[in-house]
Amino acid sequence: MKVIHSISQMSICSRKIKANGQSIGFVPTMGALHQGHLSLIKKAKRDCDVVVISIFVNPTQFGPQEDFKKYPRSFANDKKLAQKAGIDFLFAPAAEEIYPSNYCTYIKVKNLDERLCGAFRPGHFQGVATIVHKLLNIVQPNIAYFGQKDFQQAVIIKTMVRNLNIPVKIRVLPTVREKDGLAMSSRNRYLNEREKKDASILFQTLQLAKEMVEKGEKNSAKVISGMKKILGRVPDAKIDYVSIVNPENLEDVRLIDKKILVALAVWIGKVRLIDNMLIDEKPETRMTNGE
């Protein structure tokens, strides 16, 4: 595995790989690698000749009061995990190289960036879209891999790629979870034992939504109210949002008559966690031809 810090060196390597007729699979990350990241890497290895991952804690996607400074950084361990996973290139640029002092260009994916998390983290998705666009330009992958855990991020990136004609395929892979259902996340490292147990309430809440919808509940407000009741069992849980939206445009859905995304952001103590689930409407209403 080759570790690269400079943008120009990464671009040169990518160009050589492409000139050799090999395909590049790319997994952008902020490091503190876990099984969620590794699942993306595994898929990239299966699909592509060469796998590049980036580790970059992107300052422009953190608000002034957010956890940029204390975001978990474990580069030495990440390097070992990346090597073990069979990655070819680890790209870890310095912030000053990505954003020199005169930096002034940002990507905004309108409307989508204001829904769900965007309403609570102004500017977050502009930072995400900007860094992903820059990384795609530098690494020039054939396929880039993202996790469903950050569903809104994936929708925004797919939209950006489509709107700006960026020559890359975007693949979104399922959320990897702990045994109790907690979605793996680098931020789970902030949770103490007690909070980690409490945090499994997010998944239980999503499961309740799934049960209600599959039993035929069509009224989003009722599902959301049932979910909030469950979250109320954890006294330390503070809800940013519990939403039912159209997975294509992230607009609120009132009547559940097609596939929906149930998404939530909840603080457990001082840690903000997000999770989501795609749910089909009551399955038997869609069955045709005896399937």
User: Is 133 labeled as catalytic in the residue annotation?
Assistant: no
Contact window for ligand AMP (CB under 6 A) among 30-38, 41-49, 239-247, 271-279: 30-38
Q: Which amino acid is at 84?
A: K
The DSSP bridge pattern shows strands 271-279 and 260-268 to be antiparallel
133 is a contact residue toward ligand AMP (CB under 6 A): no
Find the binding residues for ligand AMP in span 35-54 (CB under 6 A).
Answer: 36-37, 39-40
Binding-site member from 13, 87, 143, 184 for ligand AMP (CB under 6 A): 184
Q: How far is the CB of 121 from ligand AMP (least distance, A)?
A: 14
Q: How far is the CB of 146 from ligand AMP (least distance, A)?
A: 4
Q: If you write DSSP's letter for every residue of the chain in order, what string do you get?
A: -EEE--HHHHHHHHHHHHHTT--EEEEEE-SS--HHHHHHHHHHHHH-SEEEEEE---GGGS-TTSSTTTS---HHHHHHHHHHTT-SEEE---HHHHS-TT-------TTGGGSTHHHHSTTHHHHHHHHHHHHHHHH--SEEEEEGGGHHHHHHHHHHHHHTT-S-EEEEEPPPB-TTSPBP-GGGGG--HHHHHHHTHHHHHHHHHHHHHHTT--BHHHHHHHHHHHHTTSTTEEEEEEEEE-TTT--B-SB--S-EEEEEEEEETTEEEEEEEEE-S-GGGT--TT-
Nearer to ligand AMP, 141 or 281 (CB): 141
Nearer to ligand AMP, 150 or 198 (CB): 150
185 is a contact residue toward ligand AMP (CB under 6 A): yes
176 is a contact residue toward ligand AMP (CB under 6 A): yes
Q: How far is the CB of 147 from ligand AMP (least distance, A)?
A: 2
Q: Identify the active-site residue in 34, 37, 124, 133.
A: 37
Token pair 């469950």: residue: 230
* 32: its two tokens: 């503190």
Binding-site member from 14, 17, 29, 85 for ligand AMP (CB under 6 A): 29
Binding-site member from 60, 159, 175, 205 for ligand AMP (CB under 6 A): 175
30 is a contact residue toward ligand AMP (CB under 6 A): yes
Please identify the residue of the shown chain whose CB is closest to the bound ligand AMP: 147
Binding-site member from 78, 88, 150, 275 for ligand AMP (CB under 6 A): 150
Nearer to ligand AMP, 176 or 271 (CB): 176
Contact window for ligand AMP (CB under 6 A) among 4-12, 181-189, 252-260, 262-270: 181-189
Nearer to ligand AMP, 42 or 218 (CB): 42
Token pair 């855990």: residue: 149
Contact window for ligand AMP (CB under 6 A) among 69-77, 104-112, 171-179, 271-279: 171-179
Nearest of 221, 206, 208, 199 to residue 266 by alpha carbon: 199
Positions marked active-site: 37
Q: Which residues bind ligand AMP (CB under 6 A)?
A: 29-30, 36-37, 39-40, 146-147, 149-150, 173, 175-176, 183-186
